[in-house]
Amino acid sequence: MATDISTRVSIRWLPDDASEPTDTLVYTVGAYFVDLRVLKEDGSIEWGFAGTREVVGREPLKCRWIHTLDSHGSNTPDEGVLTPLPNGDTLETGTMPCPHKNNIPTAYEEIWHTLPPLPGPPHAWILESVDGKSFLGRIAGGFLALGEGEEGFGARREEWDAEGGRWRGRYSIGDVKDLFSFEMLGREMLDGEAGWRAGMEVGIGGREYVVRAFEKLE
């Protein structure tokens, strides 16, 4: 599927029990993704990263996520095997550093659930700033933004309220002063947005971006 919205149901660091300490949302458009994980306990960024996804195996399906932007400052790719579950969710398995085990590589199991797009324009896109310091992602009526600012990492998550005719902020965390916001713009769409194509350069909020992926939604 060229466009996907996923939320994480749980993570299990083997042999521990499964849990879900975050509110996680991932946008994938074409070969690009934006991933924001917010801790439920205090509303801080647990992890935010964006980049490209590669399929490195088919039987079973194995993917590699390359981090162009990462709140942890890491550019080490991670890999996982994706297995469909009977209820329609996806089980991801692999090995990666465990934060609460001194970053020792640990086997993990993550369960992911696919969400439908929120009401909004029938297109999806991911942009990368030309300086590589921020990513913006939109799928219909949902928006994610990640960026490295002068005072640290920042993230926004916003949702279009079709009935109210306005954007509403779900999260605004860290250094977001230079990070684009639909809520602050006050309009549902950007000028010329419907005509974008992958590879175009566009100016938004005084910053130049490259359209990395653009898809029409059915």
Q: State the pLDDT confidence band at 9, using cuts at 50, 70 and 90.
A: very high
Q: What is the pLDDT of residue 182?
A: 97
What is the model's pTM?
0.96
Residues 166 and 97 in one domain: no
The CATH number of the domain holding residue 194 is: 2.40.128.310
Q: What is the pLDDT of residue 103?
A: 84
Residues 106 and 75 in one domain: yes
The CATH number of the domain holding residue 34 is: 2.40.128.320
**Domain final residue, candidates 114, 144, 178:** 114
Number of separate domains in the chain: 2
Q: What is the pLDDT of residue 214?
A: 97
What is the chain written as a DSSP string? --EEEEEEEEEEETTSPPB--EEEEEEEETTEEEEEEEETTT--EEEEEEEEEEEEEETTEEEEEEEEEETT-----EEEEEEE-TTS-EEEEEEEEEGGGTTEEEEEEEEEEE-PPPSS-SEEEEEEETTSSEEEEEETTEEEEEEEETTEEEEEEEEEETTTTEEEEEEEEES-TTS--HHHHTSSS-TTGGG--TT-EEEETTEEEEEEEEEE--
Residues 105 and 153 in one domain: no
Residues 20 and 85 in one domain: yes
Q: State the pLDDT confidence band at 102, using cuts at 50, 70 and 90.
A: confident
Residues 147 and 211 in one domain: yes
Q: State the pLDDT confidence band at 218, using cuts at 50, 70 and 90.
A: confident
Tokens for 34, please give them: 């934006």
Residues 67 and 167 in one domain: no
Indicate whether 75 pLDDT > 90.
no
Indicate whether 105 pLDDT > 80.
yes
Residues 110 and 129 in one domain: no
Indicate whether 1 pLDDT > 60.
no
Domain span holding position 182: 123-216
Q: State the pLDDT confidence band at 205, using cuts at 50, 70 and 90.
A: confident
Tokens for 165, please give them: 């005719």
**Domain final residue, candidates 114, 140, 169:** 114
Residues 144 and 60 in one domain: no
Distances (CA, A) of 147 to 34, 45, 143: 11, 12, 14
Q: What is the pLDDT of residue 95?
A: 94
**Domain final residue, candidates 93, 114, 135:** 114
Indicate whether 93 pLDDT > 60.
yes
Q: What is the pLDDT of residue 116?
A: 97
